[in-house]
Amino acid sequence: MRSFKSPASDILQRILMVAATGAAMTLMGCNECPTSEVVASKAATVDASVACASVTTGLDCKAICGGGYNSCSVRDDAFLKAWYGAPESNPQFVCPQDYSAQVNVSCQQIERDTELTFDGCVVDGRRPDGLATFSSNNDSALRSYLAEVTFLEAASVIAFEHIAADLARFGAPKELLDWALRARDDERRHTNAAAGLAKRFGAALVAPEVLTAENRSLFALALENAVEGEVRETYGAALALHRADCAGDDDMRAHLRNIAADECDHAAFSHALAKWIAPRLTRIERVMLEEARERAIETLLEELAIEPSFDIRQIAGVPSATVAQKMARALFAGEMNLAA
Ligand SMILES: [Fe+2]
Ligand SMILES: [Fe+2]
């Protein structure tokens, strides 16, 4: 049986290029990280009810730590473990209001450049066909971003589950099917870790809803894979590499280092899947697929033109609009005639 992970495969070469491009862009991105300075920091404790209320109202830094503090978050592993640490026992991530101990909080006074709003591009997961649009009641751009990242990681679990079911139905090689199932399991881990991070910053989480059409065609699978895998998840792999180096939050960087290799593997899977499907499509379907891929790249570039907010760049390590567009252009330069 052919190995999809052969070192000699074109696909792996492509993924290595993607990873190298992401690393190079990381350096560019770090150079462009916005400047800020933590001028004061302070540890404090709050009641569990206050920590829980932070999901909807945020933490009142001034009330907790005094005037001047403008960034504060829960930094208490034991409390957070009680909140989101065991999804099996607490599947809805219900905040432990009756937690008996005081909850540790960290306050910082940060001098920063301009504050920008964020309503743009989140490319941290693979969207399955029929996924309902994300909407959230979070009260800050960062919380909304972290909630959407978690939403997309959870959606990716469903996406890979559907792909695995399709591959079994279409009689794909076992190695490709197993690869999809491994990716699904990776996304479960990513979802739990992303949920933990989002909770730490007080984000309210939203579960994905997916309307699924049964037994989609091979062409429908190819279309989803072209847009979500070959374009968006491929860019997402480079983005994960970038964020792993540029995120200002220690936990966020550690989380991203863990998932970046998985995301490169998922991008590789997308290209392997496309290669397996291509000879099974008609010539017209292949032309339509190519057009869909080019449209997806154009759409991604448009979305990446929206400047992320200061917090999202600084804490989560998301690149500026300029760097993000450079990364995408470098990744997809060989696939379409991109204007400079
Ligand atoms: Fe993921
Ligand atoms: Fe992924």
Give the model confidence (pLDDT) of 140-158 as tens digits. 888 899 999 999 999 999 9
Helix, strand, coil fractions of the chain, as percent rounded to 5? 60, 10, 35
The average pLDDT across 280-295 equals 94
- The rounded Å distance from CA 294 to ligand 2 centre is 21
Distance between CA atoms of residues 166 and 146, nearest Å: 30
Domain termination residue (choose one: 112, 132, 160): 112
285 and 148 co-located in one domain? yes
- The rounded Å distance from CA 170 to ligand 2 centre is 22
**Which of 65-69, 177-181, 230-234 has the least mean pLDDT?**
65-69
> Residues lining ligand 1 (ion), CB within 5 A?
153, 187, 190
- Burial of residue 157, with CB atoms counted within 10 A of its CB: 0-12 exposed, 13-18 middle, 19 or more buried: buried
46 and 61 co-located in one domain? yes
Q: What is the 3-state secondary structure (H, E, C) of 142-187?
A: HHHHHHHHHHHHHHHHHHHHHHHHHHHHCCCCHHHHHHHHHHHHHH
pLDDT grade, residue 313 (50/70/90)?
confident
The average pLDDT across 257-262 equals 84
Domain termination residue (choose one: 84, 112, 140): 112
- The rounded Å distance from CA 125 to ligand 1 centre is 5
- The rounded Å distance from CA 14 to ligand 2 centre is 17
- The rounded Å distance from CA 156 to ligand 1 centre is 7
Residue 3 has pLDDT above 50, yes or no: no
Give how far the C-alpha of residue 262 lies from the chain's centroid of Cα atoms, to the nearest Å.
Answer: 12
The average pLDDT across 19-41 equals 53
The pLDDT of residue 292 is 94
Distance between CA atoms of residues 234 and 333, nearest Å: 13
Q: Residue 210 corresponds to which tokens in the numbers above?
A: 């997916």
The average pLDDT across 105-110 equals 75
Q: Tell which residue, 69, 3, 82, has the closest CA to residue 40.
A: 69
- The rounded Å distance from CA 43 to ligand 1 centre is 32
SS3 192: helix
DSSP 15: H
Residue 104's beta-bridge partner residues?
45
Indicate which ligand has the atom closest to the C-alpha of 237: 2
Residues 114-152: b if buried by 16+ CB within 10 A, e if exposed: eebebebbbbbbbbbbebeebebebebbbbbbbbbbbbb
The average pLDDT across 279-288 equals 94
The pLDDT of residue 33 is 39
Domain termination residue (choose one: 79, 112, 145): 112
- Ranked by mean pLDDT, which of 26-40, 57-71, 321-335 comes out on top? 321-335
pLDDT grade, residue 116 (50/70/90)?
very low
> Do the beta carbons of residue 204 and residue 137 sit within 8 Å?
yes
55 and 204 co-located in one domain? no
18 and 48 co-located in one domain? no
The pLDDT of residue 126 is 82
Q: In this structure, is residue 315 part of a structural domain? A: yes
- Of the chain, the percentage scoring pLDDT greater than 90 comes to 28
pLDDT grade, residue 122 (50/70/90)?
low
The residue segments making up the domain with residue 106 are 36-112
- The rounded Å distance from CA 127 to ligand 2 centre is 10
Q: Tell which residue, 240, 228, 190, has the closest CA to residue 25.
A: 240
Residue 305 has pLDDT above 80, yes or no: yes
Residue 8 has pLDDT above 70, yes or no: no
Indicate which ligand has the atom closest to the C-alpha of 259: 1
SS3 256: helix
52 and 106 co-located in one domain? yes
Indicate which ligand has the atom closest to the C-alpha of 190: 1
The average pLDDT across 209-219 equals 84
The pLDDT of residue 228 is 93
Residue 111's beta-bridge partner residues?
37
318 and 182 co-located in one domain? yes
- The rounded Å distance from CA 24 to ligand 1 centre is 21
Residue 109 has pLDDT above 70, yes or no: yes
- The rounded Å distance from CA 74 to ligand 2 centre is 28
Q: In this structure, is residue 339 part of a structural domain? A: no
Residue 29 has pLDDT above 50, yes or no: no
pLDDT grade, residue 84 (50/70/90)?
low
- The rounded Å distance from CA 190 to ligand 1 centre is 5
Per-residue pLDDT tens over the stretch 161-171: 999 999 999 99
Q: Tell which residue, 290, 303, 300, has the closest CA to residue 335.
A: 290
Q: What strands lie across the sheet with 36-46, from one edge to the other?
A: 36-46, 103-112, 71-74
- The rounded Å distance from CA 183 to ligand 2 centre is 7
The pLDDT of residue 89 is 60
- The rounded Å distance from CA 64 to ligand 2 centre is 38
- The rounded Å distance from CA 8 to ligand 2 centre is 23
Distance between CA atoms of residues 109 and 40, nearest Å: 5
Q: In this structure, is residue 135 part of a structural domain? A: yes
> Do the beta carbons of residue 329 and residue 300 sit within 8 Å?
no
The pLDDT of residue 336 is 53
> Do the beta carbons of residue 92 and residue 194 sit within 8 Å?
no
